[in-house]
Each structure stands twice: as structure tokens, then as C-alpha cells.
Structure 1
């Protein structure tokens, strides 16, 4: 039998990784040679997947990065770019095209600072937000000039997230921190509780978790830390939230009267369940007309959303019957919260920023909601960036999840807008 070509092996490798990522362990392991089947049985294969792939988040992009030959074996390297990690899968094929070896390793994803960053004018120090079992490591980025400086506390979006709000190769909170520090503004960013302490979240704790435990408690502690930092002017501390962090920014500000202002980046103004339905509908439309399977999935999602909206919803309803398997406690806690009604009752300056290509937070619905709520406010500024996506990275055409797997940076115009707005709204010391 003639050996398979490298092109054939690339196809086999990608098919194998597809099966692997879809948790089809029986199909994937059927490609193993006899020795691999002994060393790596299906049960062990599943444990391997749960340990390394599960925490990485959704797949954004999959590419063959290189091939190699060693003696009678040939190797294909597949780069898998997930939301929270980049992993290289090394697949070793024997002469018959069977898999004789498998390795998984973190891919090298070096951060490349954007042109608007000047690393010679700031430095960073490690800090801790909170204390006890939920203490969170953070980074305070400080200009080198003599303070006190205005400060910004960054609050991430939904899901487990590191302090850089890493999504694929993109680290937009580092872009923000370094970009603003280059213009004389201090920035505090920190790991989310669900990221740093993921192993501590038992099924019972997850079932009881609300945005209080996920976001607001730690954001309030971060603001407190910023206000108590000697190099920071406590009268000039601003809160910047992105996505879920932006949605909850008014709620956080309501609980802390010391904030000098709010920066809301891609914040929703509608119920979260409506946002989820819009997102799934949009994603299903990208490849053309929906398939019967997609239509069935969408109807199932609508049924779950109806449960969330049902006045009779209680925490006795299992999470698996609700959207994204988020617990009833979480949905019930959000039910009484309106970002727009809350922000209208705040007297501090507000900056609302929105990407025109954002499919997760819609300009024609959510940004419009902020405009309606703040239309008569002289201390509110709203700005739409037509070519930016949910990460405020420039792009063309319809936005897709796959573009989050391509390295980019928060647009310079966004950094400039935020910096100028902060300087214009700084409270002068008396």
C-alpha cells in the first residue's frame, strides 16, 4: 500500500481534531494504532479532553501550522485557537496513516503591543483585590510621572476571564491599560473570580451564583483598592465595564458614591435572554438558510427563554432547562435590574461606546437604548464606531466568532476617546 501524502494526512489530522473537539471519543480513537489503543483507551482520552480542552472555551479557529517527518513517522501540527487559550495538537502518523502518538501543548502567543503604547512612560505592580478565599491577583499600571493620577478600574464581560480579558490572541484589557497609561492615566485590572477560583465553584455554588458573586462584589473591592492607592487621586477614579461589565456598571456605581464617572463599552440595555436569542439567530444565519436541526435548536432555546420570562420561575427549575444552562437564581437576580433606569438616576458623567459591527450587543437596539435613556443628559456622551466589533477591533463585513481568533488590538480611536473624556471630566481638586 502506498503511503498517504502529507496533504492526505493534513485532512486526516483536521478530521481527527474535529471529532476530538466535538467529544466524539469513539470515532477519534478509532484512528489509533494498536499500541495507542492500549496506552490511550477511550476513557483516558475523555479525561484528557476534559482536563485540557474543557477550560479553554469555544473554538475560534483551527489551522495546520506545519508538518514534519521523523524516521518512518510523519507529524502534523494543528493550532487550535480557543477563547481563553491557544493549543497545538501534535499528531504522529505511522506508515499506514494510523495515529501512533498524540501531544497537546500550549501554543506560544506573545503579546505584541500596539503602536499607540509607549512602554517607557509607565510601569506595572502586582496587587491583590479583596482578601481571604476569594482574593484576586491584579495588575496596577501606573504612569512614571509624579501623581496623583486619575485611575480607571476595568470590569470584564461574562464567563471566566483573566485580567487581560484574553479572547483568542487578543488581550483588549491590556491594550486599554497600556494605552491609557501611555497618556497619563492609571489602570487596575484583575482576574475574575470564576477564572482564578474556578476549582472552588462546586455545583451547589454555581447554582446559587448571581452577578453579585460573579462581578459586582469584586468590582466594588477593586474600586476601594484604587481609591486607597497613594499614587491615585481618590476623587478621580472611573469605572470602565465591557460587555456584561458594562451592563452592570450602573449597578456598581449605584453602590459606590465615590466614582467620578462611568465608561460603558458594549453594554446591553435589554434582558439577557433576548440578547442570547438574537446571537443564536444571527450565528445560525451566517452560512445561509437555517437547517432543520438549527431550527429545532432555536425552538428549544425559545422554550427555555419562555421559562425565564415566566412570572412563576423559581430556583426549583433545573439549570439544564434554562438558556445556556445558567441557574434560575442567576436569572431571577437579573429580572429586576434595568441598566438604563439605573443609569438615569446617577449624576456622574457617562461615556457610552459601541462597535457598529458588534453582533453580540446590537447598535440598533442596545446602543439605541442608551441614547434614549441619556438623551437629555448634558454629562453623557455616546459614540458609535462603525467598523469595530464587540472587542472594539476593526474589521470588514459581517462579524463572526472566528475573527476573535485573529490577532488585533483595540482601535486607537477608542483609546483616544476614553483618555480625552477622562481628562475633560476630571474633578479638579479644591
Structure 2
């Protein structure tokens, strides 16, 4: 009988309807997962938070749940529905895999419950190769790079003979050869996409990924430039590669370092993907400000105070008041100083080799308005420079919607196919 005592209403996937269970029916983990997702879809993040154990509540705050949901919709578009729940162990606990359908893609979350609450909550996204990668069109083999013997991989087009070759240069942090971040592998996408189009690609594990580097030695020169130069030299020894057609492709910090690399090597061209033009300290302050305000556009008084403190600390770095080995924003002062002492724009302006500067319009880590436009202003009169802006791309070069945020990187997507094909065409003409 409708409305009988003992009936519980559970929101279904759209957040607009409900399903009924009675006291005699067990409320399953799948049911609880749907309630939780329904709360998130409705913007009821406090209610969603109440479903978590006290331990999970400490890890997943209300604010974090809101940002994770915003990241899902930024990466995959507006939420539509839960299409499937499948029994799946979540960290050795019986749970369900929840498939979420959005406007532009799908995501999978893992949820496990006890009698009352959610005890496990995880993103089950895995990497998958892009559709534009033809794995039968190339082969791969291991190489070592430089005196540090950094492990690397060369992707070589099948039956290649004297093809152009690319070295991929990482962004900041301890990054592997695939530029893995969550379920995303930016460099693997680029390598496989370019190798499928007749271009050999060398990628390697960054020094800070494979070994400990003393804090005072963590400089742009030590952890990026020296090893990238060695990689360009190593590429010349790959039999299928034309040594006269080697090209540097840098991403983020690696893109910012590309002008210096072109001065230090025989590379005939450079590609700069998401390269900051402003001082790194200005870039990071803007990143923090964006991260604190991306949801509702406002900053709390605490946010403002912490940003002010960060600006003051960076000023101390600029003044030389902080020892090289002392951490600033979780990174040794030596690193910040080495970046501040390098003028990437002036260095690029002096180059005569071809440059391709690409930028995502949604990138919040490197601004299309503040950085990309500065590159355009500084180099617009240079006939050797090509500019390409991709409005939908985030810092990871994958498409999305609305403001980008770090939580977007928790969900899988591939580098945009058009960027890969544009890049391959440009390299082939250099």
C-alpha cells in the first residue's frame, strides 16, 4: 500500500525520482550508493557527507566532495544517471562499482558500506589508450638517458627510416616517463599518437622520480635541463631517427625550459605546451587563488590571509632571504630561485628555429589570458613562431567544460585528438 509505515524512499540516478524499499527488504550497498550519488547530484553535499564513516569524513570534507563532483562534471560534462552497479571488492571490502554517465563520457566510482555508512569511497578510473593511437603502427624499446641512466622508452614507427624524432620534457614534480597523473598519461598519449603518425618519440622518467636529489640541488638546470639535453643527444643514436630532425616538445615547466634547451642542443625546432610566461611565483599565487575560489567565486578571510602570507614568502625568496635548502610551498627555495633567474620570454625571442606554442583555454595552472597572451605579445612579430589556442583544454591537454580545477584530474581522459594531429602535421613540415 502506497505511503505505508516502514517505507523508505531512495533517490534514483537522476535525483528526480525515488525507489521504494520496505523494512523487510535489505537496503543494499547499491541502494546506498545511489542515495549518495543522488545527494551529490542535488548539490546536497552535507547530506552526502553524513553517509560516510567518521574516518572518511575527515578525509573527504564537505568542501572536497563538492570539488570532486565539480571535477567530474568539468571532465565529463553534466551528470545524467547511474547506468550500472556491479559487485566489486574495494580495498578487499565487498562493495560496488558505480558507472556514472555524463554528457561527454563516463566515470566509475567504488563504494563499500556496512549496515549504516559508507566505509570505502574510491575513484576506479583506469588509463585507456586514445582512439587515435594505432599500436600496430609502431614498436617500443627501452633506453637509458644520460649519466644518471634514467629509464626511458622510444616509440618508433614501424619500418621507419630517417623519420623526425621528438623528446618529451616533463612539467614540475616527480614525474614518470608517461607523465602519469591519476588515471591520465599525457606523455603516453602524445608518444603513441605521434608514433602512429610517423614520428619517433623518446620519453623518460624524470630524475626526481627515480632518485633522491639533495634539496639545494633541485634547480631547473639539474632536474630538467641537463637530463633533457642528454635525451636529445640520445635520440640521435636511435637508428630510425634522422639526427637532423630532432625536436623538443615540452609541457608546463618543460615547455618553459624549451627555449633554453634549444640553445643547448642541435634540435631544429621546439614545441611549448602550456608554458608560463610570467614569473613562477605569480603563476603559483594565481593557482592557489583559483583553487580556493573556483566553486563559488569568493575567498574567505582565511584564504586571503594565507595568500598574502604566500606572497610575502615569495618576496623573501626573491630577496634571497631564504636558504636554498629550505622548503617554500613544499619545494626547496633553490628551485624557485633557479626559475626566477631565467627569462624564458627573452630567451625565446632570441631564437631563430621554429616554435609552436600551444595552450588550453580552460587551463588554470597556466593562464591563456595572462601567459599565452604574453607570449603572443612578445613574439607576435616573429615569423618562426606559430600559436595555437584550444579553448576546451585543461592543463592536461584534455577537453572539458566550465572552469577547470585539480579535481578534474582525478578522472580519465586523453589528450585531444586535434592537438595531436595538428602537432604531427607541424612537425612533419619542419
* Alignment TM class, shorter chain as reference: 0.7 to 0.9
Distance 2:324 2:182 in 1: 36
Q: Say whether residues 1:120 and 2:129 are aligned partners.
A: no
Alpha carbons 2:109, 2:124 under 8 Å: kept: yes
Q: Which has the higher contact order (CA 8 A, sep 6+)?
A: 2
Q: Helix, strand or coil for the counterpart of 1:228?
A: coil
Give the equivalent residue in structure 2 for 1:195: 209
- 1:334 partnered with 2:350: no
Provide TM-score, normalisation by structure 1: 0.75
Hey, what does 1:176 align to over in structure 2?
190
Q: Does 1:287 align with 2:295?
A: yes
Report what 2:390 is aligned to.
385
Deviation of 1:224 after TM superposition, in Å, equals: 0.7
Contact persistence 1:313–1:328 (CA under 8 A): no
Task: Please tell me whether the aligned partners of residues 168 and 201 of structure 2 are also in contact (alpha carbons under 8 angstroms).
Answer: yes
Q: Equivalent residue for 2:416?
A: 411
Q: Classify 1:253/1:98 alpha carbon distance in 2 versus 1 (closer, same or farther; 3 Å).
A: closer
How many residues matched? 362
Distance apart, 1:161 and its partner CA: 1.0
CA contact (8 A) 2:247 2:270 kept: yes
Q: Distance in 2 between matches of 1:150 and 1:316?
A: 40
Residue from 267, 274, 277 that aligns with 1:259:
267
Question: Which runs of no fewer than 5 residues in structure 1 stay unpaired?
Answer: 23-59, 80-86, 426-430
Counterpart position of 1:318: 326
Partner of 2:218: 209
Given that 2:154 and 2:200 are in contact with CA atoms closer than 8 Å, whether structure 1 keeps it comes out as yes
How far the C-alpha of 1:242 sits from its partner, in A, is 0.2
Q: Which of 341, 348, 363 pairs up with 1:358?
A: 363
Contact 1:67 1:75 in 2 (8 A): no
Asked whether 1:16 is paired with 2:55, we answer yes
Between the aligned partners of 2:314 and 2:423, the Cα distance in structure 1 is 36
CA spacing shift, 1:232–1:97, aligned 2, 3 Å: closer
CA contact (8 A) 1:273 1:308 kept: no
Contact 2:87-2:97 at 8 Å conserved across structures: no
TM-score normalized with structure 2 length: 0.75
Cα distance in 2 for partners of 1:390, 1:416 equals 18
- Aligned 8 A contact 1:356 1:389 in 2: yes
8 A Cα contact 1:240 1:263, kept in partner: yes
| Per-residue deviation, 1:207 | 3.4
Within the candidate set 221, 226, 235, 2:230 is matched to: 221
Cα offset, 1:90, TM superposition = 8.5
Worse overlay, 270-279 or 396-405:
396-405
Q: Are positions 1:271 and 2:271 aligned together?
A: no
Which of 297, 300, 307 lines up with 1:298 in the alignment? 307
CA distance in 1 between partners of 2:160 and 2:325 (Å):
55
Partner of 2:403: 398
Equivalent residue, structure 2, for 1:82: none
Q: Which runs of 5+ in 2 are unaligned?
A: 1-22, 37-49, 62-70, 73-81, 99-107
Distance apart, 1:291 and its partner CA = 2.0
Listed one character per residue, the Cα deviations across residues 210-264 of structure 1 (whole Å, up to 9, x for unaligned) are 11221111111110110122211000000000000000111111111x1010000
Separation of aligned partners in 1, 2:289 and 2:111: 35
Q: Is the 8 A contact 1:355 1:387 kept in 2?
A: yes
Distance change (3 Å), C-alpha of 1:353 and 1:303? same
Tell me the distance in 1 between the aligned counterparts of 2:279 and 2:405.
22
- The question of whether the paired residues in 1 share the 8 Å contact of 2:112 and 2:118 is answered with no
Distance change >3 Å, CA 170–CA 144, structure 1 → 2: same
Deviation at 1:293, TM superposition (A): 2.5
Question: Deviations along 1:273-305, whole A, 9 cap, x unmatched?
Answer: 000111111111112222232222222212212
Shift of residue 154 of structure 1? 0.2
Q: Which whole-Å CA distance do the structure 2 matches of 1:215 and 1:230 have between them?
A: 25
- Give the drift of 1:344: 1.3
- C-alpha distance in 1 between matches for 2:96 and 2:391: 37
Q: How far has the Cα of 1:346 moved from its partner?
A: 1.6
C-alpha contact (below 8 Å) 2:215/2:334 kept by paired residues: no
Partner of 2:174: 160
Matches of 2:223 and 2:93, distance apart in 1: 46
Query: Given that residues 215 and 324 in structure 2 are in contact (C-alpha distance below 8 angstroms), is that contact kept between their aligned partners in structure 1?
Result: no
CA distance in 1, matches of 2:411, 2:123: 17
Cα root mean square deviation, aligned: 3.4
Is the CA contact 2:110–2:124 (under 8 Å) kept in the aligned structure 1? Answer: no
Q: Residue 10 of structure 2 corresponds to which residue in structure 1?
A: none
Deviations 1:140-191 (A, max 9, x none): 0000133111000001111111111112211111111111111100001111
Instruction: Please state whether the residue corresponding to 2:236 is helix, strand or coil.
Output: helix
